[in-house]
Structure 1
Amino acid sequence: MAGPTTAERGERQQESSDPPLARRRLRGNRLRTIIILAVVLVLLPGGSVWLLYGSQWLRVTRVSISGTRVLTPAQVREAADVPVGSPLVSVDTGAIEARLRRALPRIDEVDVVRAWPRGIGLRVVERTAVLVVQKDRDFIEVDKEGVRFATVSQAPKGVPALQVAVSRTGTGAAGLRRFGEARLVREAVRVAGALPAAVARGTQVVKVRSYDDISLVLTGGTTVSWGSGEKGAAKARALTALMKASPRARHFDVSVPTAPASAGS
């Protein structure tokens, strides 16, 4: 039988040499991949630092504001003093919050957030007046925590006036020394927050004579002796029931909610 031809021997030699060549190529590809990965790993930290601090892609170019009611976005933007043009990652959000609270006492809550890639978001919650104190021709707004946060030229509609009529002599002076005016104001706020909705809408004045002597003046001159700010829910229920039972009464007393009373007609 004739042996393999020259062409067949050449093909066999080529086949026998292919596996080592393929393995060398594979090793070469792996080596190049390892080198590329090593270069990437070396450059990545520096590249990240440059991207965050040196590039123009992640710098503050806009400031968005939400939640304002009385304040204007322009007032919030000016008080925040966001460093536009600075790297977004380097903006001190805590400092922005502090500036807003310091410059705008009307702000109750504020949230400063980074809006990647180029924005800062300012979300504010404004304080709401529950009482007002008249001072000369102006009015000082008082919030639910007793904080006097703003002076306005016109009283907010539907907000009762607070009158602190504590005697500076005798027992009144002793009570003032014991509780302090700020505590008495907080008690008045506490009373205002406990009023039944229908009564709250008609309340024109909350008067504080002492810690235990807080009263209301309603539309039409009707008065309510409330007492202290304690047991507010019970007093509210007693007042609601009393007003239904004696709709023509001119004075109601719920300072002791288990023994309410009414008078006048």
Structure 2
Amino acid sequence: MTAWVAGGFALIAGVIWLVQFSPVLVARSVRVEGVPRGAVAQIMRRAAVPIGTPMVRVDTTAIADRVIATATLAEVSVGLSWPSTIVIMASPRVPVLAVKNPQGQVQVVDAEGVAYATVGAPPKGVPLIDTVENPPSRDALRAGIAVLHALSPSQRGRVTNVTVSGANMVTLKLGTVTVVWGGASEPELKVRVLTALLGHKGFRTIDVSAPRTPVTR
């Protein structure tokens, strides 16, 4: 029995040494997933993974915190792929609006209303938002984003400009048609009415702010 106990302790000690201190199970490589190839190098630099450190002693939380500081990323998680790879899984922010900051620069904004990068011009398919505030408030951005989310994908792709002049007044430029959306109420009904009216040619303005009594001009 004593020999069995001694053998058990020796086995446990061996496993602890193998995992905690042995050069066998150490971090030797890093794999980045979920982002375009061009973003990998920057993430690797920010991650600063301690190559050569035993896998169980790698601080994955600290790595994730360093990487998420990259403003263009929405989510980051870090895991271990045994025996020797650190895996960084990142989700990039997706632009839904573009805004001009007080310096006149164009910044892209994600679905959470976060302005996260400066660009030369709004990306294709990303409308520019105008507000009475400069820079626009988070509430104004969210009001514009909520309207875009309510539209059908085909309608959303045709929006070139969003104007938020108040909590209850959002106006869109949808192709050549100005759409007065109004506030956040009854978005499904507004989309149905808008879709029906867009089927008629000749309207330059469609006002669905009161969707049961729309106005066209």
1:235 equivalent in structure 2 = 190
Does 1:249 pair with 2:203? yes
Counterpart pick for 1:47 among 14, 24, 32? 14
* 3-state SS in 2 of match to 1:216: strand
TM-score, structure 2 as length reference:
0.92
Q: Secondary structure at the match of 1:72?
A: helix
Q: Which residue does 1:224 correspond to in 2?
A: 179
The structural deviation recorded for 1:93 is 1.1
- One-letter code aligned to 1:91: V
Matched ranges for 1:18-167 at <5 A: 34-69=1-36, 72-102=39-69, 104-135=70-101, 136=103, 138-165=105-132
CA spacing shift, 1:145–1:239, aligned 2, 3 Å = same
Q: Distance in 2 between matches of 1:151 and 1:229?
A: 28
Shift of 1:71: 5.4
Aligned pair partner of 2:149 in 184, 193, 200:
193
Aligned to 1:9: none
The answer to which structure, 1 or 2, has the higher relative contact order (CA under 8 A, 6+ apart) is 2
The structure whose Rg is larger is 1
CA-atom RMSD in angstroms: 1.9
- In the alignment, which of 153, 159, 162 is matched to residue 203 of structure 1? 159
Deviation at 1:70, TM superposition (A): 7.8
Q: Is the 8 A contact 1:215 1:224 kept in 2?
A: yes
Q: Say how many residue pairs are matched.
A: 215
